[in-house]
A and B are shown apart, each in its own frame.
Chain A
């Protein structure tokens, strides 16, 4: 024990001791800083990566948005057409008016109609319609009933005799559904929207010619 104390004493009393101790302490301090800055750089780099990914995501979102704006500048007009075909809520006046328009467009005569309760659901009003028509008007009805009334009409099954069309029964479905913002999580790519746009443009042309 005494020997150890002596050797420490010799170190401390050595003329080089204070300089060596200072340099060593500085070295340890610098090492501490290197570690600290290293951790700081790691943290900043992670943050940079996160920000970069977020910006890339936003850039892509903006690109799609700009393309879509260019493609569908008149989206409100298209929405008007779509909300006419499939309104948010159902109204019997709209249904009656649609049936009248269907008569005008196709030349058929709707004798009677009644609600088909069995097939009617929350978003679908099913009507059993009795039609009086000749061959031409009935064929026009078959061709145009989807959009000829100004509403979307769907018929999932039909039975008719081309030679006896004076009283043909047809079930027509009227649809309505309120817009649910959350149900569309992602905006389409521009190419998909182009197809949709062309589809609605065709329908608009049909509506205009009716």
Chain B
């Protein structure tokens, strides 16, 4: 039983259709506002991105034109690299005879200053065959002993005595040494 009735209110209870339409309209309004805001943000983003792309493109074109204008220098630079690479590649094949010959003479002199290089064969893989001449039999024996010295041996990957002729040739006792030098970079 109703206690009171508001006679001044014109509102009537909604029917089902009105209620649904009201709800739908309310949701649609909210979404419309949200989508509207999103669209404004998107348009802003599109504008900013388009500007940035245009700026980047024009910067790229400027850089490209700088590179194009310096094409002659770039070609010269490539030529320089090409020939320099060849130079180093070919020099790799060299025996570096002077570096090894002069260092051999110095090394032999550290053992016996009377020692002489009688013949010197060297290959680009640093392998060698050297004939060392010594004036006396005793000096040759002392020289042989010194070959095992660590400091002397440290200059070689391998070092072996091929032969030792106890009969002197032209007053020289000849020791034939063979082996491989440790790599030097003389060029």
- Residues of A within 8 Å of B101, CB to CB, are 142
Q: Is the CB of B28 within 8 A of A52?
A: no
A-side interface residues, number (CB < 8 Å):
73
Q: Is the CB of B95 within 8 A of A51?
A: no
Q: Is the CB of A162 within 8 A of B76?
A: no
Q: Is the CB of A55 within 8 A of B59?
A: yes
A-to-B contact residues, CB < 8 Å: 7, 10-11, 14, 16-17, 19-20, 23-24, 26-27, 30-31, 33-34, 37-38, 40-41, 44-45, 47-48, 51-52, 54-55, 58-59, 61-62, 65, 68-69, 72, 75-76, 78-79, 82-83, 85-86, 139, 142-143, 146, 152, 154-163, 173, 175, 177, 179-181, 183-184, 187-188, 193, 196, 199-200
How far in angstroms is the closest Cβ of chain A from B119? 5
B-to-A contact residues, CB < 8 Å: 15, 17-18, 20-22, 24-25, 28-29, 31-32, 35-36, 38-39, 42-43, 45-46, 49-50, 52-53, 56-57, 59-60, 63-64, 66-67, 70, 73-87, 90-91, 93-95, 97-98, 101, 116-124, 187
Q: Is the CB of A11 within 8 A of B82?
A: no
Given contacts A75-B77, A155-B94, contact A86 B87 (CB under 8 A): yes
8 chain-A/chain-B pairs, Cβ below 8 angstroms: A30-B32, A41-B45, A44-B53, A55-B60, A72-B77, A72-B80, A82-B80, A154-B91
Q: Is the CB of B35 within 8 A of A34?
A: yes
- Residues of A within 8 Å of B74, CB to CB, are 65, 187
- Give Cα distance in the complex from A54 to B60, angstroms: 7
- Give Cα distance in the complex from A199 to B82, angstroms: 14
- Residues of A within 8 Å of B118, CB to CB, are 161-163
Q: Nearest B residue to A76 by beta-carbon distance?
A: B76
How far in angstroms is the closest Cβ of chain A from B176? 13
- Give Cα distance in the complex from A38 to B35, angstroms: 12
How far in angstroms is the closest Cβ of chain B from A15? 8
How far in angstroms is the closest Cβ of chain B from A6? 11
- Give Cα distance in the complex from A90 to B83, angstroms: 15
Q: Is the CB of B90 within 8 A of A34?
A: no
Q: Is the CB of B98 within 8 A of A143?
A: yes
Given contacts A139-B98, A142-B98, contact A27 B28 (CB under 8 A): yes
Given contacts A78-B80, A79-B79, A187-B78, contact A156 B60 (CB under 8 A): no
Q: Nearest B residue to A161 by beta-carbon distance?
A: B119
- Give Cα distance in the complex from A69 to B67, angstroms: 12
- Give Cα distance in the complex from A35 to B137, angstroms: 101
Q: Is the CB of B84 within 8 A of A157?
A: no
- Residues of A within 8 Å of B59, CB to CB, are 55
Q: Is the CB of B17 within 8 A of A59?
A: no
Please provide the 6 A-B residue pairs with the shortest distance between their CB atoms, ordered closest to farther: A30-B35, A82-B83, A58-B63, A142-B98, A37-B42, A44-B49
- Give Cα distance in the complex from A27 to B57, angstroms: 37
Q: Nearest B residue to A175 by beta-carbon distance?
A: B90
Q: Is the CB of B29 within 8 A of A23?
A: yes
A10, A26, A38, A76: the one contacting B42 at CB < 8 Å is A38
How far in angstroms is the closest Cβ of chain B from A145? 9
A41, A183, A196: the one contacting B49 at CB < 8 Å is A41
Q: Is the CB of A179 within 8 A of B124?
A: no
Q: Is the CB of B83 within 8 A of A179?
A: yes
Given contacts A37-B39, A41-B45, contact A157 B95 (CB under 8 A): yes
Q: Is the CB of B31 within 8 A of A31?
A: yes
Q: Nearest B residue to A36 by beta-carbon distance?
A: B42
- Give Cα distance in the complex from A210 to B53, angstroms: 59
